[in-house]
Amino acid sequence: MAIKYTAKVIEHFKNPHNIGVIENPDACATEGSPACGDEITVYLKIDKATDRIEDVKFQSYGCASNIATGSIITDLAKGKTIDEAEAITWKQAADELGGLPPVKMHCSVLAVDGLRSAIRKYKKEVKGIDYDSTLDVKTVTEELKHVLWPPVGVDIITLKMVKYIGIDLGAVRVEVSIGSDDKFLNPTIDEIVEHVSKIRGVKSVNVENV
C-alpha cells in the first residue's frame, strides 16, 4: 500500500526550505536512523550577543518525510533563541506538516534530534554548558523515548515494549517484546543500539527480544 502524505509534506519535499550548508557554522550536528536509512545534518549561525538563531540550514539523506521535516523544523527554529528552538518538539513539527503517517513519525524525531544536537553542541563548546548524562536506567529510558514503533508512531517506552534495562560497568542490556517474525524487529533493535550508544559511559549495547 502506498504511503499517503499531506499536501504540506509534499510541498516541503518538492521545495524544501533552508536546504544547504552554512560555511563556518557556529554549530552543526548529524543524526541518523538505520530504521529507514535516513540522516540529517543541521547547521546553525547564532548571534552570540542574543543567542538568537540568525540562520539555519540542513542537508538530508533519505525519504520524503525526512526532507519535509528537516524543512519545517528549520523554519520553526529560524529567528528563535537557542532555548526556544531547543524546546521545539517532534509533535510540533509533525503537526505543522498536517501530520505524518505513523511509519514515518520517526523522521520528525530525527529532525528534532538533529536541531537539538546542534544547539547542545553550541551550548557546550561556546557557553560551557555540559549536557553529558549519567549512565543509569533513567537516562537510558529517556533515550529510548526517541525510538518509535513504526506501525503506530508511538515510542517503545509508552507502548511498554521495553521489559528490562540493565547496566553493568558500561554494558547496557535492553530486553524488548516484539514478535520474532515482525518486519520491524531488526530495524528497531538497530535504532535502540544507535540511541543508547550515544549516552556517555556506554561501552556496549545488547538488545534481546524476549
The grid coordinates listed for 127 are: 557557553
For residue 127, count CB atoms less than 10 angstroms from its CB and return exposed for 0-12, middle for 13-18, buried for 19 or more: exposed
- Assess whether 28 carries a catalytic annotation: no
Rounded CA-CA distance 82/77 in Å is 8
Q: pLDDT (tens digit, 9 = 90+) per residue, 69-127?
A: 999 999 999 999 999 999 999 999 999 999 999 989 989 999 999 999 999 999 999 98
Catalytic residue, chosen from 46, 107, 110, 174, is 107
Q: Which CATH architecture has domain 7-126?
A: Alpha-Beta Complex (3.90)
Instruction: Please give the model's pTM, rounded to 2 decimal places.
Output: 0.81
Instruction: Report whether CATH 3.40.50.460 matches the domain 137-209.
Output: no
Are the CB atoms for 165 and 172 separated by under 8 Å?
yes
Rounded CA-CA distance 90/108 in Å is 5
Catalytic residue, chosen from 19, 36, 63, 193, is 36
Where do the domains of the chain lie? Answer: 7-126, 137-209
- Assess whether 36 carries a catalytic annotation: yes
